[in-house]
A and B are shown apart, each in its own frame.
Chain A
Amino acid sequence: MTGIRTHISPPGLLFAVLGLAALLVPFMTLAANRIVAGDGIVAWRIAGPEITAPGVAAVAMGLAMGLVAGRTRLRFLGAVLGLTGLLWLLSRSAPVLLSQGGEYARVSPAAGFWFLLVIFMLLMADALAALKPGPFMRGIILVAFLFVLVFIFRSGLLSDLSVLQEFSGRRDAFFTEFVRHLGLSFGSLAAAAVIGFPLGILCHHRAALRSATLPVLSFLQTIPSLAMFGLMIPILGWVGNTVPGAQAIGIAGIGFAPAFLALLLYSLLPVVGNTVAGLASTPPAALEAACGMGMTRGQRLLRIELPLGLPIILTGLRIVLVQNIGLAVIAGLIGGGGFGTFVFQGLNQTATDLILLGALPTVVLALAAAILMDIVVELTRQTPEEAA
């Protein structure tokens, strides 16, 4: 501590300027029904002053607290205060706005809300990054965050919003597609691991196989997802029609099978590539020591190369998981289910809230998976150092 000098944090200044600008943009949208485009309403006119004044004040205060450089906890609290203000404005104004609209009126958050949400999330991330939380701390933060999110949705605070009205009409379908989405992304990850690890180990030992496999896999990865999903249809349709018994286990041109296979093909490059890179990352000294101790090739692999390469191998799985959660959305186009079903239904009906119902959970799922896998990678990276 070199005296009390209050600096202004440059990112905080950026957030404050952008945040104040976002307050001038419409905060909520009121539409006559779920299809038509609504009218945007700025934050201080969404309800009476008894609702808007505390909300806008909390947002402004949060932005101001983000300005102070070096005071990480204060900046973090500013983000929490700002987010609370946003939640207050959203939940309090929705019933007021709904009562002004007709019978089929829908209210949804507009650009101003989303901008402010992103700004406060970034402020929070910026403050947290300065705290340099360890893997356990980040795990706790992630769980707490998801818990708060679930609590807000369960509490019914936001149930007047249009996207949650879409949800309440499709509660069962939502959870079915959720499970389907998880099945597609985790299932293809598991299958890719089962095929990719042995292939990666083989590639590690045979240079010829490696130089033949990796370019093919990386070309597979470049094929646009829609084309890949589409091209699986005739192939699996043919398999389903010609191989006896294939249809009985669900292999057909459309549905789960082509989506699963397409995701599997995309997953192979990160799994195989990172397995090869992970095994190759073993320090030569460690290998020589292992040889000197008289370890066989299998022992070297299991006890030296795999444990040392584990962080890189797991990074491959992280890439695959995040990528598959996103790509599984495309499955909605070929009848494979998942959140993509809502996204593409919404796009067809120009019902934006239905699009959000599919897209927002996908984004949250991908982010949560990324943070979780980062934690796992970091934990595996620490253990060998401690053991060494």
Chain B
Amino acid sequence: MKIGLILRPALIALLLALVLRPEWFVPIFAPFAPEGGPVIYQRASMLSLSVSHLAIVALASAAATIVAVTLAILVTRPAGAAFRPLSRTITNMGQTFPPVAVLALAVPALGFGAGPTLVALFLYGLLPIFENAVTALTNLPRATMEAARGIGLSRWQCLMRVELPLALPVTLTGIRLSIVIALGTATIGSTVAARTLGEVIIAGLLTNNTAYVLQGGLIVGLFAVLIYDALVQLELYLLGRMGG
């Protein structure tokens, strides 16, 4: 992709500038700010908000990945097969729950702050990863599995050396979906007092300052697009390596 070669570094540079040197953008955002009002969000540095935002997403997604993959391994073993219809029902129904509603419902249960956001992101993040991991683990090529058993691999060795590596690309797609949703939901997390980049957008909405909305929206949007792109590239690389 030729466009990607030019566009990717340009977007990364734009994002870095927006996060590290927001004052450079005063002339661009100024027409959107109310007259005499502040143009650049000053109550917190973009860097600290970005770090906090990404940390919440990383923590929730890492925990969701570990739990979801473990559960997927369990329900795809013969002993856990009784739970498979139930787990399918939960993933199907659970994913129709709007992420915002999950976040809002976490507040009555857990109060305000980063806690409910983390829990909501974790719970919601489980579903796509679990669904994809189960799909991948149940659709392994039969010949490969028989070969693995034929060369005398134990069940554990079979899982670690054959099943999980083969299931990795599809599982990674689930992780990517989960991270993209988490990035978006974390943005809304600032309405329940989690420290994320959504704070800038919300501040802009509350004070009618479109400059803030633009600043926050651009940073969050760029992060999401670039992280999504990086994960797609990682999947392609892994698929390529497995094919070759």
Q: Is the CB of B213 within 8 A of A359?
A: no
Partner of A366, one of B97, B105, B186, B202: B97
Enumerate B91-134 residues with CB–CB distance to A below 8 Å.
92-93, 96-101, 104-105, 107-109, 112
Which chain A positions have C-beta within 8 A of B83?
10-11, 14
CA gap between A271 and B52 in the complex, in Å: 35
Q: Is the CB of A326 within 8 A of B86?
A: no
Interface centre among A9, A129, A230, A234 (most CB of B within 10 A): A230
Q: Is the CB of B89 within 8 A of A122?
A: yes
Interface centre among A233, A340, A370 (most CB of B within 10 A): A233
A334 at the interface (CB under 8 A from B): yes
Q: Is the CB of A230 within 8 A of B225?
A: no
Q: Is the CB of A125 within 8 A of B205?
A: no
Which chain A positions have C-beta within 8 A of B187?
224-227
CA gap between A120 and B72 in the complex, in Å: 23
Q: Please, which residue of chain B has its CB at the minimum distance from the CB of A361?
A: B101
CA gap between A41 and B225 in the complex, in Å: 47
CB contact under 8 A between A126 and B89, given known A227-B216, A343-B104, A356-B108: yes
- A interface residues, tally (CB under 8 Å): 51
CB contact under 8 A between A366 and B224, given known A11-B83, A130-B85, A234-B210: no
CB contact under 8 A between A231 and B224, given known A355-B107, A363-B98: no
Chain A contact residues: helix, strand, loop or mixed: helix
The smallest beta-carbon distance between A239 and chain B, in angstroms, is 14
Partner of B213, one of A111, A230, A369: A230
A330 at the interface (CB under 8 A from B): yes
Q: Is the CB of A230 within 8 A of B96?
A: no
A188 at the interface (CB under 8 A from B): no
CB contact under 8 A between A234 and B89, given known A224-B187, A326-B98, A327-B98: no
CB contact under 8 A between A329 and B96, given known A9-B82, A111-B109, A226-B188: no
Which chain A positions have C-beta within 8 A of B228?
219, 222
Q: Is the CB of B104 within 8 A of A355?
A: yes
CA gap between A152 and B183 in the complex, in Å: 38
CA gap between A234 and B201 in the complex, in Å: 12
The smallest beta-carbon distance between A309 and chain B, in angstroms, is 22
Across chains A and B, the number of contacting residue pairs, with CB separation under 8 Å, is 152
Q: Please, which residue of chain A has its CB at the minimum distance from the CB of B110?
A: A111
CA gap between A225 and B210 in the complex, in Å: 16
The smallest beta-carbon distance between A28 and chain B, in angstroms, is 13
Q: Is the CB of B107 within 8 A of A347?
A: yes
The smallest beta-carbon distance between B200 and chain A, in angstroms, is 9
A21 at the interface (CB under 8 A from B): no
A187 at the interface (CB under 8 A from B): no
The smallest beta-carbon distance between B49 and chain A, in angstroms, is 13
A322 at the interface (CB under 8 A from B): yes
CA gap between A71 and B86 in the complex, in Å: 16
Q: Interface 1/0s, chain B 200-236, versus A by CB < 8 A?
A: 0110110000100110111011001100110000000
Q: Is the CB of B82 within 8 A of A326?
A: no
B54 at the interface (CB under 8 A from A): no
Q: Interface 1/0s, chain A 225-248, versus B by CB < 8 A?
A: 111101101100100000000000
Enumerate A317-347 residues with CB–CB distance to B below 8 Å.
322, 325-327, 329-330, 333-334, 340, 343-344, 346-347
Q: Please, which residue of chain B has its CB at the minimum distance from the CB of A324?
A: B98
Q: Please, which residue of chain B has its CB at the minimum distance from the CB of A13?
A: B82
Partner of B86, one of A122, A253, A350: A122
Enumerate B171-199 residues with CB–CB distance to A below 8 Å.
180, 183-188, 191-192, 198
Enumerate A207-225 residues with CB–CB distance to B below 8 Å.
219, 221-225
Q: Please, which residue of chain B has its CB at the minimum distance from the CB of A121?
A: B93
Partner of A363, one of B82, B101, B108, B225: B101
CA gap between A334 and B210 in the complex, in Å: 12
Q: Is the CB of A322 within 8 A of B96?
A: yes
By a beta-carbon cutoff of 8 Å, the part of chain B in contact with chain A is 32, 82-83, 85-86, 88-90, 92-93, 96-101, 104-105, 107-109, 112, 180, 183-188, 191-192, 198, 201-202, 204-205, 210, 213-214, 216-218, 220-221, 224-225, 228-229
Sample (8) of A-B pairs whose CB atoms are under 8 Å apart: A126-B86, A222-B225, A227-B187, A228-B221, A327-B100, A359-B105, A363-B105, A369-B96
Given A125-B86, A322-B96, A367-B96, 4 other A-B residues pairs in contact with their CB atoms under 8 A: A230-B216, A363-B101, A366-B97, A370-B96
